Amino acid sequence: MLDTPLAVSLGDPAGIGPEVVAKSWERRHAERLPPFFAVGNLAAVEAVWDGPVETIGAPDEAAAIWDEALPVLQIADSTTPPGGHELIGARNALDALELAVGLTRSGAASGLVTGPVSKVRLYAVGFNHPGQTEFVAERCGVSRELTAMMLAGPTLRVVPVTTHIPFREVIDALSVERIAAKGRAAARGLQRQFGIENPRIAVAGLNPHAGEQGALGREEIDIITPAIERLREEGYEVTGPHPPDVMFNAHRRATYDLALCMYHDQGLIPLKTLHFDDGINVTLGLPIVRTSPDHGTAFDIAGKNMADPGAMIAAIRTAGECAARLAAA
C-alpha cells in the first residue's frame, strides 16, 4: 500500500469525470484501490453523487479522512453543471490538471490520474497542446517526442506513433527517427513502470497488407523497416512491419507485449473495441506516473448516473502499482 496518496484530477466538471471518481472511491475496498484524493471542484462531485465528500487543504490530510469520505482538494468556487456547455468547465479542468501535476512532481502525490477533458473546449480557453499527454510532458521538462501515449487493457497494449493530428498529416509526420523514438520510449516505459524486462514490440505497417512488398505503398520499406532495424540494433525485441488487419486477433496478440501503431485509430479502435470498460491511458517516458481512463467526457450521459467507473478504477489501480514499482526501484 502506498504511503503517499495519488492525485486524481476530475477533468471537465460537465463530463463524467466527477461521477467515475466518486464511484471509484465508493468501491475502494472491494477494488483494493490505493489511497487518492480528487483535485477539482467540490460542487461538481456533489452535483452527481450523494456520498460523503470533504475538502482538504493539502494532500497529507487525505489519509485521515480516506475511510470516511472522498477527499477533494478544491480548485475553484464556480463550476458548470453536468452536461453544461460553459467554458468555465474547461478552465476548471486545466486548473485541476496543473495543480495535480505540480503536486505529483513535488512528491506530495505519488502519481497522477487525470479525469477526461474535452480537447476542443480546452483549445477554446487557450490550451495549446494536442492533449493532456503533451501538457504533462512539458510540465515535467520532457520533450513530447521522448514520451509515448500508451492505451492498455488486459489483452492489448498499443502506442500510436502519431497521436492527435489530422489524418491528412499522418504520412508526412512518420519518419525513421520518430518511429524509433516512440518504440524506444514504449520499450523503456514497459521495463521501468511495468516490470517487463524484455518487452516484445510488434510494429504495424501503414498500408493494406503492410504494403504488399511495395506494390501497395512504400512506407514499410522506406521508413518502418529501417526504424525496426534501428531498434533491433539497440537491443530491443521488435518484429514487423505486420499487416495491421491481422495483428490484433487473439492469437497474434498473445505473441507481443505492445503494438506500435502508425496513427491514433489504428491502435485505439482495436483497444477500445476490446477494452472500453477497463482500458487505460498511460504516459510512458515521464519522471512521474500518469494514467487516465481510456474514455472521454461522455457529455451525453453526464449527471444521469449511467457512467461505468471501470476504466477509472483500472487507471487508479495501475497508477498505484506503477508508483509502488518506481518507489521500490
Ligand X SMILES: NCC(=O)COP(=O)(O)O
- Which residues belong to the annotated binding site? 133, 164, 209, 264, 272, 281, 290
CA distances from 85 to 7, 59, 110, 132 (A): 26, 30, 33, 20
Asked whether position 300 contacts ligand NAI by CB under 6 A, the answer is yes
- Which of ligand X, ligand NAI, none binds 116 (CB below 5-8 Å, type-dependent)? ligand NAI
Residue closer to ligand X (CB basis): 214 or 287? 287
The smaller minimum CB distance to ligand NAI, of residues 35 and 116, is found at 116
Cβ distance to ligand NAI smaller for residue 32 or 164 = 164
Task: Report which secondary-structure segment, H or E, holds 300.
Answer: none
Please answer whether residues 79 and 114 qualify as being in contact, where contact means their C-beta atoms are separated by less than 8 angstroms: no
Helix axes 88-106, 132-139, angle to 10 degrees: 40
Residue 204 grid coordinates:
504495424
**Shortest Å, Cβ 268 to ligand NAI:** 9
- Span interacting with ligand NAI, options 144-152, 206-214, 246-254, 302-310, rule CB under 6 A: 302-310
Q: Are strands 70-74 and 36-40 parallel, antiparallel or unpaired?
A: parallel
Q: Which does 133 bind (CB under 5 to 8 A by kind): ligand NAI, ligand X, none?
A: ligand X
Residues engaged in binding ligand X (CB under 6 A): 131-133, 149, 268, 281, 292
Q: Which of 27, 105, 119, 325 binds ligand NAI (CB under 6 A)?
A: 119
Using H for helix, E for strand and C for coil, what is the string for 130-169? CCHHHHHHHHCCCCHHHCEEEEEECCEEEEECCCCCCHHH
| Nearest to ligand X of 71, 111 (CB atom) | 111
295 binds, among ligand NAI, ligand X, none (CB under 5 to 8 A by kind): ligand NAI
Q: How many other CB atoms are found less than 10 A from the CB of residue 58?
A: 10
Q: Which is nearer to ligand NAI, 22 or 203 (CB)?
A: 22
Residue 117 touches ligand NAI, criterion: CB under 6 A: yes
Query: Which grid cell is 321?
Result: 502499482
The helix or strand, by DSSP H or E, that contains position 305, with its residue range, turns out to be: none
Query: Counting contacts by CB under 6 A, is residue 120 touching ligand NAI?
Result: yes
